[in-house]
A and B are shown apart, each in its own frame.
Chain A
Amino acid sequence: EAGVAQSPRYKIIEKRQSVAFWCNPISGHATLYWYQQILGQGPKLLIQFQNNGVVDDSQLPKDRFSAERLKGVDSTLKIQPAKLEDSAVYLCASSPQGGNTEAFFGQGTRLTVV
């Protein structure tokens, strides 16, 4: 079974530029998560999709971050414009059905904003 795929693995951008991350979850998984993980901290949920609907985006900075899940499968997370404090690893995860099933994580995208 293929795992969660993310790209790119690394990205360096200047502040005020825009960036996009892509995630392909495990086939058949209804739930998709985007997390932000700052070095030395736990994952912080940015947005959670159930199929192609949003179930939680309460911690997503909506003035600069946006996310969509196309046809309930792939997802993209965009930051526009980026700030220095957005430097972090962005993790995508998927699970079969909701929070009380195992979440499988991708390798993450390490974003550095300079």
Chain B
Amino acid sequence: QQQVKQSPQSLIVQKGGISIINCAYENTAFDYFPWYQQFPGKGPALLIAIRPDVSEKKEGRFTISFNKSAKQFSLHIMDSQPGDSATYFCAAARWYQLIWGAGTKLIIKP
């Protein structure tokens, strides 16, 4: 019940395309859903986050779509750029807990 399942494990997208990464959770008590971006040799950094009272949040080219009834959320990267190539982690949190997905390695081909 504490797991967060993330897919796909890896993703290759052409420059200018849309990158989509999906996550699913089971514990309905989670109340914070962040996405972290990690570049090689760096620690993860918060990219965008959503709380379950909204179904979508957009920041620039990055959008989180949240489906509370399906217990799923996804990250969409519009107009993907080579600089977006990184590993992306979804997570789910409540109170003191922060549960991580396994990560998606995204490669944007020029």
Contact = CB atoms under 8 A, between A and B. Distances in A.
- Decide whether A and B assemble into one complex: yes
Interface of A: 4, 31, 33, 41-43, 45, 48, 50, 55-56, 91, 93, 98-108
Contacts of A107: 41-43
Contacts, number: 59
A99 to B, nearest CB: 4
Interface in B70-110: 89, 93-103
Interface centre among A33, A48, A105 (most CB of B within 10 A): A105
Contact of A102 (B46, B89, B94, B103): B46
**Interface of chain B, main secondary structure:** strand
A42 B34 CA distance: 14
Contacts of A55: 96
9 contacts: A33-B98, A42-B101, A93-B43, A98-B95, A102-B46, A102-B49, A104-B46, A105-B43, A107-B42
Nearest to B31: A100
Contact of A91 (B32, B43, B49, B102): B43
Contacts of A43: 44, 89, 100
Contacts of B45: 104-105
Given A99-B32, A102-B34, A102-B49, A48 B96 contact: yes
Contacts of A91: 43-44
Contact of A42 (B41, B93, B97, B103): B103
